[in-house]
Structure 1
Amino acid sequence: MADQADISRHSHPLSGIVICCTSVPAEFRTALAKKAVDMGARHVLDLTSDVTHLICADLATPKYKYVARMRADVRVMEVEWVDAMYDLWINGEDINPTDFNEKYKFPTFHGLAISLTGIQELRERKKIEDNVRLHGASYHPDLTKSVSHLVAAIASGREYEFARNNSISIVTVEWLYDSLERGMALDESFYDRELPREMIGVGAKPSATVPSGEKVEVSEKRKIRKRAEDMLGSGSQQIWSDIMGQAANPKPKKRDEWGDDPGDDVIMLDYPPQRPQKRGPVEATGGKARGIMSAVTFYIHGFKDKHEKTVRSVLSSHDATVVSKFEDLESYRESSRLIIIVSHTISKPDCPEFPGAKVVTEWWLETCLYESRFVEPSEHFTNTPFEEFPLTGLWGMDICLTCFTGIKLLHYQNLITLLGGSFHDVLGNERTLLISNRPATGDKLQFALRYDIPVVSDDWLEACVKERRVVAFTDYLIQGQGLANRAHGMT
């Protein structure tokens, strides 16, 4: 006689499975969820930490991108996956969900249109062409505007310039092979042709899984959703509309890795929507509140065309004046504050200079939007370009953060990667360092103290940036001075 576990397994074959959907139209999602629940699964709208399967119809969504980068534990499946099992189950057949994993796995390059340039070896081109087609994309020997991705071996040539001018994603060959290895299309911004060679692919994939019992999961509530990671390219990756929305309502709905509004899967807006400002200068006539950038004239430098358009739109939506030519700043020297905004991937020595103008990065602008005010560039070291990166001493350092929230959490994650370190959400006993906000509290801190992992304040990170080298931990330890034996003097 079958035991109770066998009966339950046969009657509810999806017991223990938690599904979440992305890019699935609401009417289909409702029917799909009902079938899955009938078979014993649990359906959630948010991509919470207990989700086991993401049902996907389009890879250009924030949930997909987050799973690709951060969640190696989640399987990404086609919509047909549930229907295939349900049709057999409803007819009385016993099913094992694992038998359907490969057949209904969401194709790595689903729906993409890929072209190549700069790859001369015919055997290599054929290999790429076959892989592209085998994994769900179409291959285009000729580059047209319908192509979504150009795999470029060199950052020059007619096809390269055509792609730049037509908002076609340009990636290195590593993007192709890393995506195939991951089984998901990775974030293109980590494979930008203009990134330093040693930065290609850094941070694009999940870290190796930390063994059970040797880790503390990230438990801080996120004020900035993870889908804010795909906007400005070259490692910056923010969605302005999300930042503005979170600034208005900074408390997340629930404790999870990433909360999504029901059915909300927008990955990128042509331009961010305006929202009312809490306060701002008032015009003398009419009493209309003016935007937080109304007294500032900007020059934008160092962004790709589509990203420059986004920055320009954001600035304009907050009543800034934006000039198209560097020399046009001269006309506003007496009447306006001048700011040059550059990509955070441009080092300070490479930034243009203009008398009286402050130079900031898009991280400064994100902070202004998050706080709904004009932030003085001098208020935080992440607002302005960095002198030098990556820092040699950070290679091989596995770093975690704790007690940070909001925009600072997001910027510090990206800064660690920019400087050459490896950021990890999960704290395991093999990690090199824990950077904590004050006051330092929580499970991560206790875990670090137990396993003799140095815990420093973010002043250490600022000191490394200013000194252009990795400084010793000693002066920045915030708890557990017994850790000094590991606070080695790095130079």
Structure 2
Amino acid sequence: MSKPFQGLTFCCTGIQSSQRHEVADKIVALGGTHYTDLMSSVTYLVVGSRNTEKYRYSVRYRHDVTFLSVSTILDAHARWTAGDDVSAALLRVQLPLFSSFVVCVARVDRPSSEEVSRLFGERFRTPPRDAIPPHALKDAFSAQDIVSVLAHHGAKVSSTLTPACNVIVGTDAAGRRFTMAQQWGIPAVHPLWIYDSCLRGAALDLDDYRVSTSGTNLYNNASFVWKKLYALRVQRAAQTAPDDEPQRIDKTALKKSSHIWSSIMDRTRSHTARLVRDSTWDDASEDEEETPVLLNSSKTKAGTSSSATIKEAATSTLFLGLKFLAVGFSIPQQKVLQRVVDSHQGEIAEGADDETITHILLLVRNGPQANLMLSMLPSAMKRRINSKEVAVVTDWFIERSIFYNRICLDSWCKPLQGLVPSATRYKVCISGFTGVELLHIEKLIGYLNLEFCDVLNANRDLLIININLFKPAFIKNSPKLFEYKHKDILHCPVYQNGDDSKSVSMISAKNKISAAKKWGIPIVSVAYLWEMIERSTNKANLQVPDILDLSWCIFAPQTMARPTTLLDYVRKMSNNFSTQTPSEGTEDVQVQLPSPRKAKNKLKYGRLAGGGESLTEKLKNAREDNEDTLQKGPDDTHDSDDMPTQVGYENQDSLHDKQELMRKLEGPERATKRRRKVT
């Protein structure tokens, strides 16, 4: 008896470990191949729970994956062991669209005609007739149709909200049910979640359809496989068309398929050594269309040149003998990578257990997760990586090798684990770079959450220049610029156009340097950018090194007019940062408090007797002593032999003033006593 799953590949997700082993054994017994990881060759995903990364990824990016329930595999195995004829057609019984969902249908209001036109202006919501699956939702804003479709596809529908519900559907987030749903942690989604899920053939991620009150959400980010999915359905509809109308259906299918597939395959061109933008590893946009080739006499020369380029690319042996294992690439990115590597005689491995793999290929932006991704590889592969049998590179290895037409294993191609975002979005300009370095530096600035600016003005925070543009002068005046530890980073080519001193690149760089000095903008080499990345390894945010280090500093202003520049940020990062070299012997001096003792060189004056008495007390005591002296008589008085040194003049006014002063100091009782004694 033939095995019904012969040649089919499966993967499980959201299933308990014990049951997963049982399902895997039954798949193998039925002739299928079971993978623990979701490989690109997997076409059937056995789903136990939708709340997994494998399911979300497949719904979003894999149009060729069919979703099955565990019961489908168990039923097929039971029939086969009982001797029944089990065909692969059984696998067309897919996972019920909304199984395990308990849905509360709340208030569904029909929006305005303008909003309906805007929502259904998305092309994927108006597929070809042959691409519409059966039992799809016809009216997205009819509560009755919504309830009917949900029930047909396996959901339990309720008009009342209970804690048992796991989703609530409605157009307005206001109301008691939505308030309670928020308290219970039940997601509230737009009715388009049901409409789009029916078109997709699988329940889409709820987070992409959360009810928005802004009115600008188009709910169009749940899946990116609509074009390929519809093309596949149209193709199947054409193959299964009835015989009585072959011409009409074939014609319609050909028209739809031709249009869609031409748009899908519009990137299957030759990959020559050219600059590739950020969309290099992305799939073709839905709005792109193939430009028709006009075979006119005027185009003969261009066509000949293009044919020669294609022939040259097809015969390239740049990657001959190399086999890459792509880790972390999406399905569209893998397809683009496959075409590029194939055009240069390289190979792409289908699994990590391939012993002929020579390179592990990661995405540059996944540098901080490189160790985590590599730890998920089989033990044999990790041993080969540790023993240097297998090199770990990024997608920039492919780009740089093609650009320079040689294998590049420099620092640009290694995983950048310090590629973390900056806490502050500084504005950065560059000058003097060309070729693939220009592209990669621009990407690095974006990955670090810095703002790349094409134009230099006074509001910029940093200028990075290619020091090779002024290499003779820098070697003479600033040789440390070329002594950075990663010297291959500094080997950036220079665009030359005639005389070096008169080239456009040279003149532009000189003008930018002059302007940067005038505006107080720091000027550094690309080594400063690389040092940021290296110091930020295993850090949460970007670490900014000392900008005054001569290994990368070309110019740094001593005083900053603007308080929000990169230099200020460096000062905050380092407590001992200074823009000038401290002089020898300079130390932090604490504030010295004055000594309570008198200084030696202070002039000495006579002091009043009596110790620590107030002036009032001293005057009172002096007056009492004087009165006692007067009472004792002439025996207690003596004339001073000292000659007066000054002559005083006394009048009635001065005597009166003295008496008033004494009266105030003595008080009324003392003054009365004194007057009595005098009398």
- Give the TM-score of the pair, scaled to structure 1: 0.45
User: Rg larger in 1 or in 2?
Assistant: 2
Between structures 1 and 2, the one with greater strand share: 1
Higher RCO, Cα 8 Å, sep 6+: 1
